[in-house]
A and B are shown apart, each in its own frame.
Chain A
Amino acid sequence: MREQEFLRAALTPDAPVPAGLVTPTGQPAERRFNVYRNNIVVSLKDALSAAFPAIQTLVGDAFFAAMAGKYIRAHPPKSPILPLYGADFPQFIARFEPAGNLPYLADVAHLEVSLRNSYHAADSRPVPPAELSDPLLFTRKVVLAPTVFWLASRYPVTQLHGFASGGEKPAGGGEDVLITRPEFDPLATAFPTGTIAVLEALRDGIALGEAAELAPKTLDLTKFLGTLLSGGAIIDIQEV
């Protein structure tokens, strides 16, 4: 009995049990084999539930279980680090036809992946506030913390995420989302569409002042910089 054969049967609900797997009386172990079938799918589904609570709330438990089941069979984990399983679940959701009437769903999943990435990202030391009052700050480039992530959505994705945990009904349109990790708990903050251009410029080593010029007119620059600073997002200031 080879692993290949065991797995193929375990991942195919109605497949016959591989020969040689027996009960104490030597009979084919049908019902007993189902324990493994069940454990594999249930434990991986539970891992996705833990990682995508907002998606589960938005689509309901039954739909989530069905969608997760399809994903698990098509994309089993590539590594035993289960807390990071499902990194490409958002892309799967985007192509999952039964969810086609919820076009924002993949973006909410992308937000959940980004929050999780930030949660597990490396620790770093933010620059002390005194250094941030340097009058030449805007001519310098900044190094962003590994905990900083961002995404753009055509939907009010932070509101949809908040709605799933009991918040207000979402209103408005697209947003760019900045994720920071003040200490251990990641925080998603919504900014106007186009804000990501500033973050990409900072990541690429453009001076702060020059990057800020890329901001959309509606961006509250004070709030934006405040979010970066209070989120410990700047870990070094360097000459351009």
Chain B
Amino acid sequence: MLDQTKHLPAGVGVGYKSKHFSNILQEDHPVKWLEIHAENYMGAGGRPLAQLRALSDRFPISVHGVGLSIGGEGRLDAEHLARLKHLTDALDPASFSEHLAWSTHDAGYFNDLLPLPYTEDTLTRVCDHIDEVQDTLGRQMLLENPSSYLAFAESTMGEVAFLRQVVQRTGCGLLLDVNNVFVSANNLSLDPHEYIDSFPHEAVGEIHLGGHDEDHDEDGAPLLIDSHGREVADPVWHLYTYTLATGGPKPTLIEWDTDVPEWDILAAEAGRAALRLEQVLA
């Protein structure tokens, strides 16, 4: 089941947006692979799937799910998992990833990556869900660390310890979102470098970089919000360089999902990441 043969290249990718379709095909840019949000390609046909077929002929594709609710209390949505299998079977992507979060409850799907406490109970539940995903899709998945805005009093372990256990029990890989590490560390008064130091880098198959917004909580403490709507912040670039120095070069994605810029701006962000990656590869 562990599919190590078709891996993402150790270069830079971007989150694919349809307005960049023709720019991407020109290939005069540093982007070596593309990531799509699985749920945007679950229609029956039309332009989205036609574009995806054309792109997958030219670029390795990473399928990134945002709606599976792996951290949820309930069972995984079997219909949704079947749709994911349909997509990954048809596309045979270089990678499939999802989030350590929940978004679906009996009442519906809430389109946000909602947080969970880190306990033995939630660990068992998350591992059961990942086993089911990997068994159904017949491929290894990567699990992404979330952005946190608050803590759970009931948590009994830290996030890295939790993720490490998930990897050991399920054989999944990890998607290390460096911006999320920075955002969570700020919001929870943790040291982002300690987080990176203790992370199981050998399990990391992909890195995410994205922009965040700054707000304040009721005490005036800075509250960072993972918005994916702007350039990667300078301290996140520093943390990325530190991550590469610690864990080695990894396929790296620039995420920009709201207020999506013109292609040149996104390609320049990809270029910044490529430069750092090349320094480690050299």
Contacts and interface: CB of A to CB of B under 8 A. Distances in A.
A4 B152 contact: no
Contact of B110 (A7, A24, A33, A122): A7
Interface stretch (A39-47, A91-99, A213-221, A223-231): A39-47
A97 to B, nearest CB: 24
B111 A40 contact: yes
Interface in B131-158: 149-154
B189 interface: yes
Contact of B39 (A1, A2, A30, A82): A82
Contact of A31 (B107, B152, B223): B223
B57 interface: no
B167 to A, nearest CB: 25
Contact of A77 (B43, B108, B189): B108
Contacts of B108: 76-78
A43 B111 contact: yes
B104 A80 contact: yes
A184 B223 contact: no
A82 B216 CA distance: 30
B91 interface: no
A76 B80 contact: no
A120 B46 CA distance: 5
B45 A120 contact: yes
Interface stretch (A15-23, A57-65, A127-135): A15-23
A104 interface: no
B117 interface: yes
Contact of A32 (B66, B83, B103, B187): B187
A79 B217 CA distance: 32
Given A120-B46, A122-B45, A39 B103 contact: no
A161 interface: no
Determine the interface band of chain B, counting residues with CB < 8 A from chain A. Answer: 35 or more
B89 interface: no
A152 B53 CA distance: 36
A1 B117 contact: yes
Given A3-B102, A80-B104, A21 B150 contact: yes
A82 B111 contact: yes
Contacts of A10: 110, 114
Contact of A23 (B46, B73, B150, B216): B150
Nearest to A78: B108
A83 B39 contact: yes
Contacts of A44: 110-111
A204 interface: no
Interface string B36-72: 0001101111111110000000000000001111001
Contacts of A4: 105-106
Contacts of A21: 150-153
Given A20-B154, A22-B151, A146-B44, A39 B112 contact: yes
A24 B150 CA distance: 7
Interface in B220-242: 221, 223, 225
Given A121-B46, A123-B46, A80 B80 contact: yes
A80 B152 contact: no
B72 A32 contact: no
B147 to A, nearest CB: 9
A88 B19 CA distance: 28
Contacts of B102: 3
Q: Which 4 A-B pairs have the closest CB atoms?
A: A80-B67, A120-B43, A76-B108, A29-B150
Interface of A: 1-4, 6-7, 10, 19-24, 26-27, 29-33, 35-36, 39-40, 43-44, 46-47, 76-84, 119-123, 146-147, 181, 184-185
26 contacts: A3-B72, A3-B114, A7-B105, A10-B110, A21-B150, A24-B187, A31-B217, A31-B218, A35-B149, A40-B110, A46-B258, A76-B109, A79-B77, A80-B67, A80-B68, A80-B69, A81-B39, A82-B111, A83-B40, A84-B43, A120-B43, A121-B45, A122-B44, A123-B49, A181-B46, A185-B47
